[in-house]
Chains A and B, each alone.
Chain A
């Protein structure tokens, strides 16, 4: 296997990231590098700090300590839109979709396609539906652009959320539990999509509790425990058993 490290500069570099919520220490001293075209699995027990780390990288809130570098530049995100502007996209655990809108409207939320009529700009529903259908096709998802998200299955919702990240030319896509609530066939599809992102040189950070998924698609696995990074290993140098013992704390660090 080609190690993406050979590609040179990491797309994302974290140095000593820490985060406190009042008295709760959610993260402490996290260092992490991710390279273009690399899929990194982020694992850890409930409350280990995975979502908090993702939210910091995505600009939802600033870290209390440490530095984030993206494409070699130190970055400070005030809002999620700042992170998005440099090429960071997130698929959230709770998916962050508007249930009352259609699949297409959700895919394009915040970057709607418009058609100009003189000084007025109206939504281009047709173009958005067509592009959304294309994206769902790439994901081999049977999601229909005009369906309301409210009526969709877990897998279809996932496809909508993932399709959102495909719209922009993201350099880093972070997925928080994308395979938690969907059928086996759909898990295959999501893993397939991760492969396709990787082929295009996109770095992917996959948060998952599902060991088989992580070992199926990831190049590297990072284990978090109580807000600290306990392990960072090439997938070939470790085993599900070792990762499990790192997650539970049976093994302190590796």
Chain B
């Protein structure tokens, strides 16, 4: 029973929010079209938050994902405008993200600098790169290849059920992350490093390699997020794209029950966390709450939800 509660985590909160918004909006929340919008809006944040989960599980943090997302989108779009190379833009986006992530990881793992400081630095530096890539303008490409991943849907039952490709990608990312975290040696080592770094080291785990890996994954997924945004918007602006996305990603991870100290948490929790954020945004708009109050309410719900979670965990630990 305790295990069930723990595994379910914030799922009840998500369901309550959905039901609440459904009634308050006179039944407009649970329409096929609206759910599609929610899923699509959750997609990019889910991808970023998945990467953030790897990082936070080791007890770290990655503040640079929003900037990396912007730089990757810019790099991809720039390539997509070169006729001979256009087809490679997706790959270039993702690899750009991976590159920045690995640099973060190397600084943290090899120079032993604090993750907060390193990624705070790259938050700024990589943002500069993103602007540089478009010579500080917006890059457009109305005929960007693979645009369907940003706007198309995967039809499951023709005319009845279809899922936005963005959401399909997000779901695949979650599945692969789960596989890595729960089913591979690397996954156990990530949890071990977060739980007790010196024990991990004594057990012969190459802690530096684990750290480079998690920041690499976070960068790679930020790159993928950049590609998703570029395909969706046919455009990117190095200054504006991805601003403060890192905060939404961190929020999703924390809402999902992953401990800031490291070593505890699950990727499914992160998915639920990302969905809560998307449902909140969507629901508050549906019921006509003003933009200003949306901020206030979102913030309070986040604090309240995490407080509730802590309270419940303490309760179950005592019994």
Question: Dominant SS at the A interface?
Answer: loop
Residues of chain B contacted by A122 (CB below 8 angstroms): 179, 183-184
Q: Does B198 reach chain A (CB closer than 8 Å)?
A: yes
Q: Which of B31-60 contact A (CB under 8 A)?
A: none
Residues of chain A contacted by B238 (CB below 8 angstroms): none
Does A98 contact B202, Cβ atoms closer than 8 Å? no
Name, among A81, A99, A100, the residue most crowded by chain B CB atoms within 10 Å (CB to CB).
Answer: A100
Residues of chain B contacted by A97 (CB below 8 angstroms): 196, 199
Considering only CB atoms and an 8 Å cut-off, how many residues of chain B contact the other chain? Answer: 21
For the complex, give the distance between the alpha carbons of A112 and B188 in Å: 9
Q: Report the minimal beta-carbon distance from A209 to chain B, rounded to whole angstroms.
A: 23
Q: Does A61 reach chain B (CB closer than 8 Å)?
A: no
Q: Does A92 reach chain B (CB closer than 8 Å)?
A: yes
Residues of chain A contacted by B204 (CB below 8 angstroms): 79-81, 84, 110-111
For the complex, give the distance between the alpha carbons of A99 and B192 in Å: 9
For the complex, give the distance between the alpha carbons of A92 and B203 in Å: 12
Q: Report the minimal beta-carbon distance from B119 to chain A, rounded to whole angstroms.
A: 23
Instruction: Tally A-B pairs: CB < 8 A.
Output: 62
For the complex, give the distance between the alpha carbons of A97 and B203 in Å: 9
Does B188 contact A121, Cβ atoms closer than 8 Å? no
Q: Does A123 reach chain B (CB closer than 8 Å)?
A: yes
For the complex, give the distance between the alpha carbons of A200 and B226 in Å: 59
Does B185 contact A98, Cβ atoms closer than 8 Å? no
Q: Report the minimal beta-carbon distance from B206 to chain A, rounded to whole angstroms.
A: 9
Residues of chain B contacted by A121 (CB below 8 angstroms): 184-185
Residues of chain A contacted by B134 (CB below 8 angstroms): none
Nearest chain-A residue to B201 (Cβ)?
A80
Nearest chain-B residue to A125 (Cβ)?
B183
Residues of chain B contacted by A81 (CB below 8 angstroms): 204
Question: Dominant SS at the B interface?
Answer: helix
Nearest chain-A residue to B183 (Cβ)?
A122
Does B203 contact A109, Cβ atoms closer than 8 Å? yes
Does A98 contact B195, Cβ atoms closer than 8 Å? yes
Q: Does A5 reach chain B (CB closer than 8 Å)?
A: no
Q: Does A105 reach chain B (CB closer than 8 Å)?
A: yes
Does B184 contact A98, Cβ atoms closer than 8 Å? no
Residues of chain B contacted by A112 (CB below 8 angstroms): 185, 188
Residues of chain A contacted by B183 (CB below 8 angstroms): 122-123
Does A98 contact B200, Cβ atoms closer than 8 Å? yes
For the complex, give the distance between the alpha carbons of A155 and B204 in Å: 24
Q: Which residue of A90, A109, A114 is within 8 Å of B205 (Cβ)?
A: A109
Q: Does B194 reach chain A (CB closer than 8 Å)?
A: yes
For the complex, give the distance between the alpha carbons of A186 and B205 in Å: 30
Does A123 contact B185, Cβ atoms closer than 8 Å? yes
Residues of chain A contacted by B192 (CB below 8 angstroms): 98, 101, 105, 109
Q: Does A74 reach chain B (CB closer than 8 Å)?
A: no
Does A101 contact B195, Cβ atoms closer than 8 Å? yes
| Chain B window 167-204, contacts with chain A (Cβ cutoff 8 Å), 1 for yes, 0 for no | 00000000000010001110110011011101111111
- 24 A-B residue contacts at CB 8 Å? A80-B202, A81-B204, A90-B202, A92-B202, A96-B198, A97-B196, A97-B199, A98-B191, A98-B192, A98-B199, A99-B196, A100-B263, A105-B188, A105-B192, A109-B192, A110-B203, A110-B205, A112-B185, A112-B188, A114-B185, A121-B184, A122-B183, A123-B183, A123-B185
Given contacts A101-B192, A109-B192, 14 further A-B contacts (CB under 8 A): A80-B202, A92-B202, A97-B196, A98-B192, A98-B195, A99-B195, A100-B194, A100-B264, A101-B195, A109-B188, A109-B203, A112-B185, A123-B183, A123-B188
Contact surface of B with A, Cβ cutoff 8 Å: 179, 183-185, 187-188, 191-192, 194-196, 198-205, 263-264
Q: For the complex of A and B, list the 10 residue pairs with the smallest distance between their C-beta atoms, beginning with the closest.
A: A110-B203, A100-B195, A100-B263, A98-B195, A81-B204, A110-B204, A109-B203, A96-B199, A98-B196, A122-B183
